[in-house]
Chain A
Amino acid sequence: MYRYLIILLLMSGEASAHSFVPTYPELKPSYVEGILYTTMSLFNARKDVEYYEFGVFNAEWEKVPFSMQNKIMRFKHLEKKKIDIYIREKDKQEVVYICSKSKLIITGASKTSVSSRVCSKVK
């Protein structure tokens, strides 16, 4: 069963996919006192998307302050990047979800586009 799933997931990399891992990231102490961080990885296989926006939320889906290199980042087609997300230690109990969301460029004929968002849950 897992063999087929892994093949399917590998094949999905060839399609138009958006993945964001790990599912359950852990916050670790950073080199700055009072600041925690976690490393996430985003893979962009969507040809129609070049930019992704990142966000950190509490259990009620309210925004939690965080820092990273750029909150909107460019990913070329089939590009995979590791991203460090920094959160204040005092906000640790608040943080529940870390999300990445595709940013769509409006062009073309009368059709519907799909905005994808993948959210991980902090342990």
Chain B
Amino acid sequence: MKKLFILLSTLGLAASINAEEMEVVGNVASKCVVIPDTAGIYGNPTADVLSTDPSDGGVDPIVRFDVIQASMYKAKISYPIEFSESPTLNDIVNWTGSVGTSQVSDTSMSGYDAAKIEFDNVTEFNLTVAGSTWFKTESQADYGYGKAFPGGVYRAVVSAECIAI
């Protein structure tokens, strides 16, 4: 009887120890991360053209946007309309370009291209799905009227903005 009482008391104690609980607290806050994924390179298919198009020997720059919660941010991407570095140019450079999705982490992001808003050299995408989206920016610079670009280094800047809405 005494043994049974000790056994039951021990089990009771064990049970009370098992009843201890630890809480794990987490917080998922909205966040946007901008990640330059691929550096762009200008190809020079003809003397008067610099282009990031792979068929012209260039590489399109790619930027990744990660959002942890849907519909909290918009992506605003601008293709360049001037060189940040170049030799002295004494004629007009005509810029053209476009921005579109190149890869998505969720199939429901496939509607981003159809819903994009374009004005001037800016393209806006509402990031309505949580996850990662890779945006590709094509740009082309045409110099004067068939004039050859002077030799030297040419650099331009793509602007990638993530704006809370």
Contact = CB atoms under 8 A, between A and B. Distances in A.
* Residue with the highest number of chain A CB atoms closer than 10 Å, among B29, B30, B32, B131: B32
Nearest to B152: A110
Given A5-B131, A17-B35, A46-B36, A113 B157 contact: yes
Contacts of B41: 109-112
B160 A110 contact: no
Interface residues of A, number: 36
Interface stretch (B3-11, B12-20, B61-69, B118-126): B61-69
Contacts of A116: 34, 36, 63, 160-162
A97 B163 CA distance: 8
B155 A112 contact: yes
Interface stretch (A7-15, A69-77, A85-93): A7-15
B36 A16 contact: yes
Contacts of B42: 110-112
B28 A112 contact: no
B164 A108 contact: no
A104 B80 CA distance: 14
B163 A119 contact: yes
A121 B165 contact: yes
A109 B36 CA distance: 17
Contact of B34 (A2, A21, A22, A118): A118
Contacts of A119: 161-164
A10 B63 CA distance: 17
B88 interface: no
B165 A117 contact: no
Interface in B6-61: 28-37, 39-42, 44, 50, 52, 59, 61
